[in-house]
Amino acid sequence: MRQSIFFMPTLKETPADAVAKSHQVMLRGGYIRQVTAGVYSYLPLGYKVLRKTEKIIEEEMANAGVVEMIMPHMLPASMWEESGRLPKYGPEMFRLKDRHGRDMLLGPTHEETFTEVVAKSLKSYKQMPLHLYQIQTKFRDENRPRFGLLRGREFVMLDGYSFAASREQLDKQFDDEKAAYLKIFKRTGVEVRPVIADSGTMGGKNSTEFQAPAAVGEDTIATNASGTYAANLEMAVSVDTFKQEPEELKAMEKVATPGCDSIDKLAEFLQVPATRIVKSILYIVDEKKKVLVLIRADKEINEVKLTHLLDCDSLRVAETSDLEELTGAGKGGVGPVNADWADEIVADETVKGLYNVVVGAGESDAQFINANLDRDFKADRFADLRVANEGEPDPIDHEPLQFTTSIEVGHIFKLGTYYTETMGAKFLDQNGKTQPVIMGSYGIGVTRLLSAVVEQHATENGVAWPKEIAPFGIHIIQMKMKDEIQSKLAEDLEAKFAKYDVLYDDRNERPGVKFNDADLVGAPIRITVGRDAADGIVEVKRPGDDQAQKLAVTDLENFIASELD
């Protein structure tokens, strides 16, 4: 490709609104342009990287025996009514109406469509196992689209769906897909860790996310040093090591605590450690149930764990302004003693084994001191409902948990029969019995993956693309366009190494301009054709090299082969 005809509108300045490194590089290098919030055009450079990534996916999925197809982007809302997911999905869904007033939507994911089109057509166990995927644009009206391709409202996803007649078949499909993903990530040059994850609104088990460590990541993963435990913080088991020395139970007493609207203030006012205070937080569950959640005050509630325990679709902390009406106590006073107004009281395990604690007194600005579980208040259920802390022992090998921010680039899980049961996709098993098809659901955020690669491979002035997805394998830079010897050599090299995908900078630009642009193209090998061309010598540089090195043209072939083959 001749750079003089290529479209690569580079920017000298970093756009002020781009905070993520990957966003900056992709804008400055002319890989992408924003059309509206979270919606991007892929310019030639960006599109090349995207296509190369898709090609790797296509190869690895074919190797794993997963078959490609494509579904429509625009879907009837009726399918989502059938699955019961329409009301749950909420404002993230792009909804529209056709001219007849029928409700339509732009697909944010395709479980329903695959169940409708594929699972319902499977009549016999003989047609399974079946394993399909597509690479397709998805639409999600994200609350905060940001960081360029990391969180878009229109983005490319690989989504896979498997159909099985038995749990064993599903297990194998899950393992196949996981193995293929690990190969895809390896080839795209991104460091990824599989971690235990939440399965969110889609239901299902064995949820595993693929997390790419990066400073800009919106997720936190908790891992141990020996690699035997890795979980999204949302799901990380918390092992509590705090122990209170047993004490004699004292009489419970009410004390006024004016203005103590935080745990810190309360602890200071009462001169007790946070470990002697039990926080009471009122949650409104599925917009109807009042659930009081108790937790030792040095810990935070993990709402994902709480959602799992309560098996609910939604939960939110009650508004401060509503507390008085709902419980009789304003902020800083809600508590578990005589809390008959609560539909349920659930407690984190840290509430057990405490003596003479502080709890809200059920009226504003007042607390009970010396309250005791079972004697003064109760909980209907106990569970690990807390956010794990860094340094706590992991639940497997009891090594200190380490936290890392990271980007979720993929997510796989065993869906089971949720969709096939709600939508009626049944088959006849070996014994002639009717069974729901067993599904798995799998996805990689392809465009997000590109950002993750750049986050991990950014250089001072650009990016060093891993060789398999670099937009160009070789970037030839000719110093002086009027020099015929240089032109002849550059053209020869362009032709000779064409199979590596060559970008040839044949523009009448200053060398400085060319080198700056080359940093943004990030080819694994840069060949500069300059003054020494007459002697059959060029300069080669890899993005990580401090300096270019001179190389005889006769040695180029070996050098390139050793780097790129």
Interface with ligand ATP (CB under 6 A): 109, 140, 142, 151-152, 155, 157, 200, 408-411, 443, 445, 447-448
Quick one: 203 or 336, whose CB is closer to ligand ATP?
A: 203
Nearer to ligand ATP, 157 or 294 (CB): 157
Residue placing its CB nearer to ligand ATP in the complex, 129 or 410:
410
**Smallest distance, ligand ATP to C-beta of residue 38, A:** 7
How many other CB atoms sit within 10 Å of the CB of residue 72?
Answer: 12
Q: What is the DSSP letter of 149?
A: G
Residue found under tokens 């149930």: 289
Q: Does residue 474 contact residue 529 with C-beta atoms inside 8 Å?
A: no
Sequence letter at residue 76: P
State the minimum distance, in angstroms, from the CB of residue 35 to ligand ATP. 15
Tokens at 299, concatenated: 């810990």
Q: Pick from 464, 510, 490: which is nearest to 29 by CA?
A: 464
Tell me how far, at minimum, the Cβ of 137 lies from ligand ATP, in Å: 11
Helix and strand totals (H; E) in the chain: 14, 29
Angle at 73 between CA 70 and CA 75, to 5 degrees: 115
SS3 of 18-59: CCCHHHHHHHHCCCEEEEECCEEEECHHHHHHHHHHHHHHHH
Q: Which is nearer to ligand ATP, 89 or 341 (CB)?
A: 89
User: Judged by CB, which is closer to ligand ATP: 141, or 261?
Assistant: 141
Q: Which is nearer to ligand ATP, 236 or 493 (CB)?
A: 236
The one-letter amino acid at 282:
L
Question: Cα–Cα distance between 380 and 83 in angstroms, integer?
Answer: 32
CA separation (Å) from 345 to 215, 281, 335, 354?
38, 10, 10, 17
Map 454-485 to HEC letters: HHHHECCCCECCCCCCCCCCEEEEECCCCCHH
CB of 548 to ligand ATP, least distance (A): 37
Instruction: Give the C-alpha separation, 515 to 526, whole Å.
Output: 10
The answer to whether residues 44 and 6 touch, using CB atoms and an 8 Å cutoff, is yes
CB 309 within 8 A of CB 361: no
Q: How far is the CB of 362 from ligand ATP (least distance, A)?
A: 38
* Cα separation, 448 vs 153, whole angstroms: 11
Nearer residue to ligand ATP within complex by CB, 200 or 536: 200
CB of 468 to ligand ATP, least distance (A): 19
User: Nearer to ligand ATP by C-beta: 38 or 543?
Assistant: 38
- Closest separation in Å from C-beta 63 to ligand ATP: 21
The residue (of 217 and 330) whose beta carbon lies closer to ligand ATP is 217
CB of 249 to ligand ATP, least distance (A): 45
Q: How far is the CB of 200 from ligand ATP (least distance, A)?
A: 5
For ligand ATP, which is the closer residue by CB, 409 or 503? 409
Q: Measured from the CB of residue 446, what is the shortest distance to ligand ATP in angstroms?
A: 8
Angle (CA) 326 327 331, round 5°: 100
Which residue, judged by CB position, is nearest to ligand ATP in the bound state?
A: 445
Closest to ligand ATP by CB, 194 or 328: 194
Residues 214 and 488: their CA atoms lie apart, in Å, by 44
Q: Measured from the CB of residue 190, what is the shortest distance to ligand ATP in angstroms? A: 11
Amino acid at 118: V
Token representation of residue 5: 């005809």
Smaller CB separation from ligand ATP, 358 or 450: 450
Q: Report the C-alpha gap between 442 and 111 in whole angstroms.
A: 10
Nearest distance from C-beta of residue 447 to ligand ATP, angstroms: 6
The tokens describing 249, both together, are 């139970």
Place of tokens 């070789």: 474
Contact 376, 370 (CB under 8 A): no
